[in-house]
Amino acid sequence: MQPLYSVEHETRHNTNRAEEENVERPEEHTPLLHRFPQAVSERRTLTMVIVSLLLIVLIAGVIIGIYLLVIQNDSENVLPPIENPLQLVSRSQWDPSNEDQSALRSFPYRLRAVTVVHTGTDQCNSTETCTKLLLEMQSNATAANSTLRYNFLISSNGQTYEDLGWLKCIPQSTKTTTPTGLLLAFIGNFSETSPTTRQIQTAKNFFAASESQQYLHPSYRIYAKNMKDTPPNLAKSFKDFQQWSNEFSDKK
C-alpha cells in the first residue's frame, strides 16, 4: 500500500502544477487578445476610406453630368444650327466660258447692305433648266463685259447660283443714298406670285453663310429696289426679317 504522505504530496504537487498552468495560459494568450481589437479598428478605417472615395467619385460624376447638360442646352439656345446647308452652284459650273471681268469693281471688306430683286423671267427648278436660263440671260446682258449684274441668284428649288460672287460688282451709274452691297436675285417674275418657301429659306441660309464668312457685316441691312425690280410680293417675303429696311436702294 502506498503511503498516505506520498499520496497527499503527489496530490498537492498536481494541484500546484495545474494552478501554475492556469496562470501561465492567460499570459500566453494575452498578446493575442490585445491585438484583435486593433485589427478590427484598422479594417473599419480602411472601409470608411473606400466608401468615402466612392462617394466622392459619385458626386463628381453627377456634377460633371449636370454641367455638360447645361452647356449643351446653352449652345442649342445661343446658336441654332442652319436648317439646310447652302446649295451653291459656282459660276464655273453653269458658265465655263471664263469671261474677262476686269471692268468690275472690287467690294470693300464686310458689306453692310443686300438688295433683293427678281429677274423678271421664267422660273427654273433644276440645275439643267437653270443653267439654260442663265446662259440665255447672259447672252442678252448689256452690262460691263456682257456680264449679269447680280452677285447671286436663287432658283425655285432652293439652289444658289453664283454670278459676280461676293467680291465683285458692276459700277453704279447713279449715286444712291443707301450703301452699295450685294445684289441677290430671285429667279422668276413675282409681280403676281410670291417666292417659294424654299427660296426664302435659301435666302436665310445665304445671309447666315455670308455673315459667318465675313462678307457681310453683323449689322447689315436688306433693301428693296423700285417696284419693277422688287415687286410687292417679293418685298412682303422679307417684312419679318430683323434686317429688313423699307427704304429703296436706288432712292435719290
Pick from 212, 206, 199, 200: nearest CA to 182: 206
Does residue 75 carry a pLDDT above 60?
no
Identify the band that residue 105 occupies on the pLDDT scale cut at 50, 70 and 90. low
Per-residue pLDDT averaged across 128-133, rounded? 95
For 218, residues 6+ apart whose C-beta sits below 8 A from its C-beta are 211
pLDDT for res 47: 87
Tell which CATH architecture fits domain 88-248: 3-Layer(aba) Sandwich (3.40)
**Which carries the bigger pLDDT value, residue 230 or residue 4?**
230
Strands (DSSP E) contained in 176-252 are 182-186, 216-224, 244-248
Does residue 203 carry a pLDDT above 90?
yes
pLDDT for res 85: 77
Pick from 147, 186, 188, 153: nearest CA to 168: 147
Does residue 208 carry a pLDDT above 60?
yes
Identify the band that residue 17 occupies on the pLDDT scale cut at 50, 70 and 90. low
pLDDT for res 9: 54
Does residue 58 carry a pLDDT above 70?
yes
pTM above 0.75, yes or no: no
pLDDT for res 225: 85
Does residue 251 carry a pLDDT above 60?
no
Does residue 68 carry a pLDDT above 50?
yes
Cα separation, 113 vs 131, whole angstroms: 27
Q: Which residue has the cell 464668312?
A: 213
User: Which residues pair with residue 117 across a beta bridge?
Assistant: 185
Mean pLDDT (the chain) is: 78
Any idea where the domains of the chain sit in the sequence?
Answer: 1-80, 88-248
3-class secondary structure, 37: helix
Identify the band that residue 252 occupies on the pLDDT scale cut at 50, 70 and 90. low
Cα separation, 92 vs 77, whole angstroms: 38
Per-residue pLDDT averaged across 121-145, rounded? 86
pLDDT for res 140: 83
For 110, residues 6+ apart whose C-beta sits below 8 A from its C-beta are 214, 215, 216, 217
Q: What are the residue ranges of helices labelled H in the chain?
A: 4-78, 91-94, 127-139, 197-212, 232-236
Cβ atoms of 188 and 195 within 8 Å: the answer is: yes
3-class secondary structure, 220: strand
pLDDT for res 4: 45
pLDDT for res 104: 59
Per-residue pLDDT averaged across 87-111, rounded? 75
Cα separation, 160 vs 152, whole angstroms: 7
pLDDT for res 245: 86
Q: pLDDT, tens digit, for every residue of 136-190?
A: 998 887 655 567 889 999 999 999 999 989 888 765 544 554 456 899 999 999 9
